[in-house]
C-alpha cells in the first residue's frame, strides 16, 4: 500500500511540475496598445545607439491597422509589412527604404539587417524597453521617445492622399539632371483613378487601380513630340508597366517594387501641371 501511495504521489508531483513548467514558459502576448507610439533605438547588437549613429537615431512605429512598420534607419526612411503573432514572434521580411546619400557615420545596414532577421521575438521588459531577440541574443532595444515635429511618419496610401500634384525627386539612384535635362517628370493623380503629367519630353496619361498599398497602372498614352533624348522618358514610362507598392511620408510619395525604391515624388502645387490635362494625346 505504501509503495502504491508513493507511486501515486510521484505521478501527481510530476504532473504538477509539468503544468508548472508549461505555465512559467508560456508567453503572454504583448498588447498592441503597449506598442503604440514612437520608439527610439537604444542599442544595436549591444552597442549604444549614440555610439553607432552620429546623426539621427533610428526609430520604429507600428501601424496595426495596415500591418506596417516605418521609421528612420539613421539616414534613410524605411517601411514595410510585418507580422506579430500571439507568441510575440515578429517578422518583417521585405523592408524598403529611401536611397539618400549618407555622410555621417551610421550603422544603417546593420540596423536594417537586424530588423529583418527571421524569427525574432519581441519582449517588453519591466522598465518599458522593447527588445527584439534572436534566441538568447538581444539584437535591438528601443525605448519610448518623442517624434520630431517635421517627421510625420509613413502613412498607408489611399485615393485621398494620393490625389494631387507630384514632381519626381529620385529614380532608382539615377542622376535626374542627366536623364531629364530640361524639366523633371510630374504626376498629377486624381481621386477617381486617373493620372496625367509630364514624362521628360512628352505629356502622358494613364489610369490606375489601388488595392491595399499596390498601385497598378493602365496603358500609358503620350504625345509624340521630337526630343533630343528620350532615354529618361522611356525609363520613366517603362517603370509604370508593372504594379508598384506605394507609401506616403509627409510630402513624399514613394513607389517600390519587391522592397526596392523605384520612384520618389515630392508634393507640388496643383497649378504646376494642371494645364497638361488639356494636351491632346495621339
* pLDDT tens-digit series, residues 146-157: 765 444 455 668
Reported as a single tens digit per residue, the pLDDT across 90-126 is 999 988 887 666 767 889 999 999 999 999 999 999 9
**Any idea what DSSP says for residue 249?**
E
What's residue 34's pLDDT?
94
Count of C-beta atoms within a 10 Å radius of residue 213: 19
Q: Which pLDDT belongs to residue 25?
A: 44
User: Bigger pLDDT: 226 or 132?
Assistant: 132
Distance CA 206, CA 217 (A): 7
How are the residues of the chain apportioned to helix, strand and coil, as percentages rounded to the nearest 5? 25, 35, 40
pLDDT (0 to 100) of residue 154: 55
What integer is the mean pLDDT of 20-43? 78
The cell for 146 is 518623442
pLDDT at 100: 67
Q: Mean pLDDT over all residues of the chain? A: 83
Indicate the helix (H) or strand (E) that contains 56. Answer: none
Which whole number is the average pLDDT over 212-225?
90
Q: Look at residue 107 in the predicted model and tell me its pLDDT.
A: 94
**Of 17 and 254, more confident:** 254
Q: Which residue has the higher pLDDT, 181 or 86?
A: 86
The β-bridge partners of 134 are 137
Whether the per-residue pLDDT at 258 is higher than 90: the answer is: no
Amino acid at each position: 500500500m505504501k509503495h502504491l501511495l508513493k507511486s501515486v504521489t510521484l505521478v501527481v508531483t510530476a504532473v504538477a511540475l509539468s503544468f508548472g513548467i508549461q505555465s512559467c514558459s508560456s508567453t503572454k502576448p504583448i498588447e498592441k496598445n503597449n506598442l503604440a507610439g514612437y520608439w527610439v533605438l537604444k542599442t544595436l547588437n549591444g552597442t549604444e545607439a549614440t555610439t553607432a549613429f552620429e546623426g539621427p537615431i533610428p526609430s520604429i512605429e507600428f501601424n496595426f491597422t495596415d500591418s506596417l512598420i516605418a521609421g528612420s534607419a539613421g539616414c534613410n526612411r524605411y517601411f514595410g509589412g510585418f507580422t506579430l503573432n500571439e507568441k510575440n514572434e515578429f517578422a518583417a521580411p521585405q523592408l524598403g527604404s529611401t536611397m539618400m546619400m549618407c555622410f555621417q557615420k551610421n550603422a544603417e545596414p546593420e540596423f536594417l539587417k537586424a530588423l529583418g532577421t527571421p524569427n525574432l521575438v519581441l519582449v517588453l521588459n519591466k522598465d518599458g524597453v522593447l527588445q527584439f531577440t534572436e534566441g538568447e541574443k538581444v539584437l535591438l532595444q528601443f525605448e519610448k521617445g518623442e517624434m520630431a515635429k517635421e517627421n510625420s511618419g509613413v502613412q498607408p496610401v489611399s485615393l485621398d492622399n494620393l490625389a494631387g500634384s507630384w514632381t519626381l525627386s529620385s529614380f532608382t539612384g539615377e542622376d535626374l539632371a542627366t536623364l531629364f535635362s530640361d524639366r523633371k517628370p510630374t504626376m498629377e493623380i486624381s481621386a477617381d483613378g486617373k493620372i496625367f503629367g509630364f514624362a521628360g519630353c512628352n505629356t502622358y496619361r494613364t489610369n490606375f487601380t489601388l488595392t491595399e498599398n499596390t498601385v497598378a497602372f493602365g496603358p500609358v498614352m503620350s504625345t509624340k513630340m521630337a526630343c533630343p533624348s528620350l532615354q529618361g522618358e522611356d525609363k520613366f514610362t517603362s517603370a509604370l508597366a508593372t504594379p508598384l507598392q506605394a507609401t506616403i511620408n509627409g510630402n513624399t510619395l514613394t513607389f517600390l517594387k519587391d522592397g526596392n525604391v523605384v520612384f520618389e515624388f515630392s508634393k507640388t502645387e496643383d497649378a504646376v501641371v494642371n494645364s497638361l490635362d488639356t494636351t491632346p494625346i495621339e
